[in-house]
Amino acid sequence: MGIVRTQEEENERMEFEDFRQTLVAFAALERRKQSEEFKGLSSHNADVDLEEKLVCVTSGVSFLGLAIVNRLLLRGYSVRILVDNQEDVQKLREMERSGEMMACTNKISVVMAKPTEIQGLMEAFDGCRGVFHTSAFADPGGISGYSKSMAEIEVKASENVMKACARTPSVRNCVLTSSLLACIWRDSTQHDLPTLVNHDCWSDESLCMDKKLWYALGKLKAEKVAWKIAEEMGIKLTTICPGLITGPEFSLRNPTATIAYLKGAQEMYADGLLAIVDVSRLAEAHLSVFEEMNKTAFGRYICFDQVIKREEEAEKLAREMGMPSNKICGDSFDIIPTRFDVSNKKLTNLMSRKLRCCYGES
């Protein structure tokens, strides 16, 4: 056992030394010139700016952001990934090395900018013809979940991204990732509400505040401010409102958003409004909407591929989350009827040539 422990310690030492040397080397490169190549992730460079199919993805290191980046690369785009710290640059390098992100040295660039600084965002977007704002925010503490202060950060970031898009001449279109939660939390005491939920529905801000649904509140206000700026400043915008984003190890790879989304899960399940969407299908939806923005795509798009309406479906989701099923479905054993308006399959119709189904099942 002593020999095994020594080998493990030696491996850890070597990994740490490799990591330390990588950071030192990268720091030296950054000091010399930010645009030098960094292990397949080249920094912002004027030659790439000239490419017609250059787009920017914010939070490209996130669960959804990475899926969008890979989908764009497969479709032949050049992608500038926006990060706001050195740790995310290192994560991107590790993802490329592990194969999680496609290795396309001449197609990927990385630039650092703070979402609080419009000028930095404009420099990051310069030369890009489109921006995908994935609105992915991680809990700084790692465990406390999506707080009220994070909702405020998300709203401000959305405002700044939209202003930067409007002020950057090369940017033609923006696709913003909102959430289905921005549509479904409505005050049931209002008798004039439509029975079914569709892309014209908006959550009630006061209700979200009262129930402390900070993730829903953040997505709701971030989307609203984006639409306000888009109308005032003339930027072409579409928003996608996905259900709970699932996929391989989603609860581990996207914990903050997953846990935050499921606050109020029992009520969503009972109302037939707990919906999920696979991250790969959602990434494809983003790209398909973006490519149709100069033709027929417009407005908001609800995006899901399953409504959780049976006990066994709730149990499966709970197992994937590592939580008791009653946290999702309570004590109900009934089959829950969906309350989504699937008669107006706006997204499915738009992408019929590219995507079999992304606007739900009945």
What does the alpha-carbon distance between residue 163 and residue 49 come to, in Å, rounded to a whole number? 20
219 has catalytic annotation? yes
Q: Are 56 and 132 in contact (CB under 8 A)?
A: yes
Q: For residue 88, give both structure tokens.
A: 């995310």
The CA distances from residue 25 to 29, 36, 229, in Å, are 6, 12, 41
C-alpha triplet 294, 297, 302: angle, nearest 5°: 155
Instruction: Show the beta-strand stretches assigned E in 9-101.
Output: 42-43, 54-58, 78-83
Catalytic: which of 107, 219, 221, 346?
219
Q: In b/e form, how buried is each residue of 63-86, taking b as 16+ CB within 10 angstroms?
A: bbbbbbbbbbbeeebbbbbbbbee
Catalytic residue ranges: 219
